[in-house]
Amino acid sequence: MKYAILHRMMLLLLLIAWSSRACGQQQTSSPSGQTGRVKSVFLTPATVYEGDTIPYVKLPTVYVFKPMVFKNKRQERQYNKLVRDVKKVLPIANEVKRAIIETYQVLQTMPTEKQRSRHLKAVEKSVKEQYTPIMKKLTFAQGKLLIKLVDRQTHSTGYELVKAFLGPFKAGFYQAFASLFGASLKKHYDAEGEDAMVERVILLVESGQL
């Protein structure tokens, strides 16, 4: 990949300052008129390093890329459009991943094929009702991007998912329907190849840098 990952900034001095403040004591007046001491306590996760217990803070990942250089305004518009498309489609792909995990977990609790089949039909109906209005608002380019992002998030193509949950017949039907519009449910996500720019945008969006 053409990007550098994981530039983490150490907060050791800040943590030491917190620890010092936590150990500090403030003078207060007790009901008896005597001077008391109240400790200010700051809780933070800790880890053991070489026998010592030290504060542990997980910092967000920061991605650093070469600055974008556009050859012309058209290329700049295309990039800005990609950013908008990713921001719109990525949450849907994440929701698909969540739904798949939940559905799989529920299916594991059902002892008979009849129960599993009934549940899958209910899920299919619910998904259609919930997401049809959303899908209708997607452009063709966003729809194709969604197919790829589903593969990225779930490590399975749309075709494989439909086949696994709804059977080969419906998988073939949806694939044929998609191909009528120049799309394919069998499309794989290639983070290091043709989708390298998409991957760059996703990482920046997920880290809050875009």
pLDDT at 40: 64
Identify whether residues 119 and 153 lie together within a single domain. yes
136 and 97 within one domain: yes
Task: Give the HSE-up count for residue 136: Cα atoms under 13 Å, Cβ half-sphere.
Answer: 6
What pLDDT score does 27 carry?
43
Tokens of 77: 């518009």
Same domain for 115 and 134? yes
Do both 160 and 78 map to the same domain?
Answer: yes
* Closest CA relative to residue 162, chosen from 144, 143, 145, 147: 147
- Co-location of 83 and 47 in the same domain: no
Q: How far is the C-alpha of 122 from the C-alpha of 162, rounded, in Å? A: 15
Look up the domain containing 98 and give its range.
73-206
Looking at the structure, do residues 186 and 82 belong to the same domain, yes or no?
yes
Q: What digits encode the pLDDT tens for the residues 136-153?
A: 788 888 888 888 898 898
One domain for residues 57 and 85? no
pLDDT of residue 28: 44
Domain boundary (31, 64, 97) is at 64
Domain boundary among 64, 82, 102: 64
Q: What pLDDT is stored for residue 17 in this prediction?
A: 35
Together in a domain, 120 and 82 = yes
pLDDT at 180: 67
Whole-number Å distance between alpha carbons of 189 and 178: 17
36 neighbors 29 (Cβ within 8 angstroms): yes
DSSP 4: B
On whether both 95 and 56 belong to a single domain, the answer is: no
Do 52 and 89 fall into the same domain?
no
> How many domains does one find in the chain?
2
Q: Does 117 share its domain with 201?
A: yes
In 40-131, DSSP assigns E strands to 46-49, 52-55
Q: What is the pLDDT of residue 45?
A: 80
| Pairing mode, strands 25-29 and 35-39 | antiparallel
| Domain stop point among 22, 37, 64 | 64
Q: Are residues 103 and 161 in the same domain?
A: yes
What was the pLDDT predicted at 181?
65
Residues in the chain, pLDDT under 70: 1-42, 180-181
Question: In 3D, which of 50, 37, 46 has the Cα closest to residue 18?
Answer: 46
Are the beta carbons of 46 and 56 closer than 8 angstroms? yes
pTM: 0.66
d(CA 148, CA 183): 11
Identify the H or E element spanning 62: none
